Structure 1
């Protein structure tokens, strides 16, 4: 039984790693859809932080749901902690995280490796902290925001100086999406 569990865990870890690499390769090759009717702000992740002093402390409480085998998710958790958020970090099986995504009607093409809830919004993936702060301070009429896949250079996905351009998408409960912010490198 012990050998079975060890082999199973090794297979699971290898599968998650392969899925991450394939996801990055897919989004790099295909790219993400643009919404020409929405004017997005373009900036870099490095200049994306904003002070948390403008936000009430209770607004900075975030719950993060991640699987036990994902290291990049832990990197994102550290990113938001370093920027003043109080984090409840919950490790769950993927099936339970999918249920949380469904509750907020996250379109399947906007999924990533971890899911968070803050102030009634869903926050999916490796989103820069400035976009989370903008979401909770502006309170737009949306269900949440997402960075699909795992773009290189996003918080938690750092790989030296390598950075991949990416968009942060806003989505509504009815499935409508638009670009919330854009990062070009």
Structure 2
């Protein structure tokens, strides 16, 4: 397997205005549904948003880049599509297993997006109730994860973490995002 796709699959937070089609979003979900699932429960449901008006309503309900105080992308840099991952609020399956499933599915979504020339960012910091109401999600489901998607405007580069510091940072132009990763030699016991 080519390592390049993993290097390209970063958390992108600024996007161009190039659109993503409903067909492309459906392909991302097709690959997400193939992910492993605890007890094969397949509890995740998805809401797909590529409508510009609805994207514009979701964007102010999001919070970005917790490690970068007082920073959010501008409206001009906002995502052109979203995938909302929802879970039933009455599932007997342990919630941690459902979150495990969402992580696997989200990774498949983002790898598919990268393969298509897009990028994304997994957000847990968003106004879940407002998004739930805006998208008319059924009452027996909760919005849990929001995946912001688009063609990346920024450049993301993996760099080696030094002294255990894994805080990501941006350059002075705020276009280049650096993502420190702990060296392989420090991960293995």
TM-score w.r.t. length of structure 1: 0.27
Q: With CA pairs under 8 Å and 6+ residues apart, which has the higher RCO, 1 or 2?
A: 2
TM-score w.r.t. length of structure 2: 0.26
